Structure 1
Amino acid sequence: MKKRRVIVRQILLASHAELAKGILSAVELIAGTQQNLKVYSAYTDAADVHFKDQMLQDLNKMDPEDEVILVTDLFGGSVNNELLELTKRPRTYLVTGMNLLLALSLILGPAGESTEDLIRRCVEEARQGILYCNDPLPEAQDTDEF
């Protein structure tokens, strides 16, 4: 009997300049080295290959059964717009509005949760984590820290 392969959830962060690299640095400081997390910096002088071309090369090396979550920095920005067509790839999802809470939530999310449910939950958590701290803070629902 052939052993069934475990589907891997890959997370690819893409941003203008070095934002994605900064998010990676902070994620790994908090959660350790992440094997299924890659970053792409667009429009930098150091880029030998266009970020989308590099991403396509990496996607072609992945198992087609793997799930891929693409996370970009800005809705309507060129990075996000260039990656829209990749959502035609099976099991590929695109999320925008990259921030540290969103990235951590996606990476640390339970493997058993459906990817679409994970994304929706993490986006909502990231929204709730954006606060104007001069305003009175809402009452905490629980006392756990992230």
Structure 2
Amino acid sequence: MIQIIIATHGSLSEGFKDAVELIMGESENLHTFSLYQETGIDLFGDSILAKIESLPSKDGIVIFTDLFGASPYNQTTIKMKDLKNVNYRIISGVNLPMVIECLTLCKMGITLDELWQPVVNVGKEGIKDFRQEFEKHMMKRGD
């Protein structure tokens, strides 16, 4: 099964896991990493690399990060060069719909190469402005 890692600043990754498991139940292939102020960047990078190396990764690994170009993203991309023969995708801007879609597709047996684009699309489509959606809905009703 594809392994999923959420790597974020602070306890955001644990919050995502908690929310996902509330909705979908416990998942053995969902892992979290948190960068705290007292955590050194090198220690964070080494820890995430060690975790990736310990995972059964024959089906691949999806790594979600919170911010493109920030420390969790940078450390993950830097450490991935040390891995050989691991199929992975690093996706920044994680949101709850993305993680739920990823877990759902993993359970369906979809491959990593087929998985990443629908996950990114769901993440983008999950961003809505209430007023714009409300006005669209009212226009369809003719109100």
Same fold (TM over 0.5): yes
Give deviations 1:47-101, integer Å, cap 9, x for gaps.
8x93322222222222352411110001111111111134444211101111110
Map of 1:54 onto structure 2:
47
Map of 1:124 onto structure 2:
121
Which stretch has the larger CA shift, 29-38 or 127-136?
Answer: 127-136
Separation in structure 1 between the aligned mates of residue 130 and residue 18 of structure 2, nearest angstrom: 25
Identity of aligned residues (%): 27
Offset of 1:136 from its aligned partner? 3.4
Are the counterparts in 2 of residues 13 and 20 from structure 1 also a CA contact under 8 Å? yes
How many residue pairs are counted as aligned between the two chains?
A: 131
Task: Please state if 1:16 is matched with 2:9.
Answer: yes
Separation in structure 1 between the aligned mates of residue 39 and residue 75 of structure 2, nearest angstrom: 20
Separation in structure 1 between the aligned mates of residue 73 and residue 5 of structure 2, nearest angstrom: 12
Which structure has the highest helix share of the two?
2
Distance 1:41-1:123 versus aligned 2 partners, 3 A rule:
same
Distance 1:136-1:57 versus aligned 2 partners, 3 A rule:
closer
1:104 to 100, 103, 118: 100
Give deviations 1:112-134, integer Å, cap 9, x for gaps.
32212211011101101101111
Q: TM-score, normalised by structure 1?
A: 0.79
Offset of 1:135 from its aligned partner? 1.4
| Structure 1, unpaired ranges of 5+ | 1-7, 140-146
Structure 2 counterpart of 1:115, one-letter code: L
Please show how residues 38-77 of structure 1 align to structure 2 within 5 Å.
38-45=31-38, 50-77=43-70
Structure 2 counterpart of 1:105, one-letter code: E
Are the counterparts in 2 of residues 11 and 37 from structure 1 also a CA contact under 8 Å? yes
Separation in structure 2 between the aligned mates of residue 23 and residue 63 of structure 1, nearest angstrom: 22
Offset of 1:46 from its aligned partner? 7.5
Secondary structure of 2:45's counterpart equals: helix
Instruction: Please tell me the root mean square deviation across aligned C-alpha atoms, in Å.
Output: 2.1
